[in-house]
Structure 1
Amino acid sequence: MTAPWPYPRWIAHRGAGRLAPENTLAAFRLGAQHGFRMFECDAKLSSDGVPFLMHDPTLERTTNGKGTGGVLPWSELAQLDAGGWHSRLYAGEPLPTLENLARYCLANGFLLNIEIKPTPGTEEQTGRVVAEQAARMWQGQAVPPLLSSFQPQALAGAQAAAPHLPRALLLDTLWDGWADVARQLGCVALVCNYALWDAALVDKARGLGMRTLSYTVNDEWAAERLIALGTDGIITDRVDLFSPAG
């Protein structure tokens, strides 16, 4: 029997999709202005172990820095401009720590899907530290964050550090053994590339006792298909297109 699911269907990708610089507090504020109450973010570690928000292993695309983000201490990462690449409006927007975002979400009653996005070679450590901080920040809260990752090692680290926090396996392809890995990791959900979902996969996930979420859904036809399949969650960039009340 699948446990009750405390999360809404609609989840804003990296805060507000492409309308604001991803994984910045400005993006989460904009997503909230569009009515979203749950967000997805990416978390990795600085060289001194501070979880911060960034998708790519390297800094160039979304900051004015250069090289691998995870090799720098937080004191240097905190100085970077994470908004100017997007538009002049957001120039000077800093990289947030996971703690910054946690405080924002907790203060406003928002829910969070934290994708553990380790710098290559730090999978287990990143999963462990992110889960430890999430457990501490959300202690006593009715609805904890959902921890997800493409990296089984990262989820294993999270499972060891905070087994009570819900975990989800991210899948871009249905690689051999994914179901066994998800079961071993105690995952409560699968988060798949939306094109992977069909009735058979939904049935398989349900048979494993897992919920069904999709990324990154930016077209109405795709959302309608996923809703018709009975899936549980839709992660979207199009906070301006989809009504999260729908």
Structure 2
Amino acid sequence: MTMLETVPTWIAHRGAGKLAPENTLAAFELGWRLGWRAFECDVKLSADGVPFLLHDATLERTTNGRGRAGDRTWAELQTLDAGSWYSPAFAGEPLLSLERLVQWALPRGAWLNLEIKPTPGTEAQTGRAVAQAADALWRAHGAGRVGGPTWPLLTSFRPEALQAAQQASPHLPRGLLLDRLWPGCWAEAQALDCVAVVLDHRLWTQTLVAENRARGWRLLTYTVNDAERAATLLAWGLEGIITDRVDALGPAALT
């Protein structure tokens, strides 16, 4: 099994939770300024195969574009405004490529959880491409060598995407995302040689935490925005908390 060297306790959701336009460089910079050092984000492919950050399959909610994001080339996507939807202060903020995020994150020691978020119908293609890109980008910054950066954690709700990532770059740690406990999900995580499982926090029980610790997985959860719930989950043995409340939980609670 590929090892996951570290699991940060506190992971900022999409850069800075809901305090900036999600998945943009502005969001990561804000999260960093607030003391966060671990970040989750969503990665999909442009029509010409460039990995970039966007949660939705379509462009309307978080950009001034329209239609399926995966149908646009990266050159087209780069012209879009991904900030004005949030507030005028972020007008002109562009979509963020995975390459640019890595250039920002790794020199400063940030840890990344890359959720593979395929455009429907491109699950295997996206999983393979994101894994290959991550492998190359992290190696360029010294990953795999003594003193180099920690590999990213690749996660996805789509087993087909994780399987393609496994085949392309088997050494990259993988985690299965679950928003429900579907039949065979634990066997699927084992078949994918996952090092982690990442569940909606409402699914976790103390018994389920114990069962999955016994299976040898690292245990993460999303999206926890309540301090009391976070404390309960950590007391049960959860290791990583993904949150929008970058202004109140985790590092922010210590300042």
TM category (shorter chain) comes to over 0.9
The answer to whether the aligner puts 1:66 opposite 2:73 as a matched pair is no
CA distance in 1, matches of 2:4, 2:166: 20
In the TM superposition, residue 208 of structure 1 has moved relative to its aligned partner by 1.6
The answer to whether the aligner puts 1:233 opposite 2:246 as a matched pair is no
Residues 160-179 of structure 1 mapped to structure 2, 5 A cutoff:
160-179=167-186
Q: Do 1:123 and 1:153's aligned partners in 2 also have CA atoms closer than 8 Å?
A: yes
The answer to whether the aligner puts 1:242 opposite 2:249 as a matched pair is yes
In the TM superposition, residue 225 of structure 1 has moved relative to its aligned partner by 1.0
The answer to whether the aligner puts 1:52 opposite 2:59 as a matched pair is no
CA distance in 2, matches of 1:36, 1:237: 12
Output one character per residue of 1:56-92: Cα deviation in whole Å (capped at 9) or x when no partner.
0000000000000000111100000000000011010
1:6 aligned partner, one-letter code: T
Q: 2:224 aligns with which of 217, 221, 228?
A: 217
* Count of residues paired in the alignment: 246
CA distance in 2, matches of 1:189, 1:179: 11
Structure 2, unpaired ranges of 5+? none
RMSD (Å) for aligned C-alpha atoms: 1.5
Counterpart of 2:163 in structure 1 is 156
The answer to whether the aligner puts 1:199 opposite 2:216 as a matched pair is no
Counterpart of 1:40 in structure 2 is 40
Q: Do 1:41 and 1:114's aligned partners in 2 also have CA atoms closer than 8 Å?
A: yes
1:179 aligned partner, one-letter code: W
CA distance in 1, matches of 2:157, 2:214: 21
Output one character per residue of 1:31-69: Cα deviation in whole Å (capped at 9) or x when no partner.
001111010000000000000000000000000000000
CA distance in 1, matches of 2:108, 2:80: 26
CA distance in 2, matches of 1:207, 1:225: 19
Residues 119-134 of structure 1 mapped to structure 2, 5 A cutoff:
119-134=119-134
Counterpart of 2:78 in structure 1 is 78
CA distance in 2, matches of 1:101, 1:84: 20
Provide the secondary structure at the position in 2 that maps to 1:227. Answer: helix
Provide the secondary structure at the position in 2 that maps to 1:138. Answer: helix
* Aligned structure 1 segments of 4 or more residues deviating by more than 4 angstroms: 1-5
1:57 aligned partner, one-letter code: A
In the TM superposition, residue 4 of structure 1 has moved relative to its aligned partner by 6.7
In the TM superposition, residue 7 of structure 1 has moved relative to its aligned partner by 2.6
1:7 aligned partner, one-letter code: V
Provide the secondary structure at the position in 2 that maps to 1:180. Answer: helix
Counterpart of 1:108 in structure 2 is 108
State the identity %: 59
State the TM-score, normalizing by the size of structure 2.
Answer: 0.94
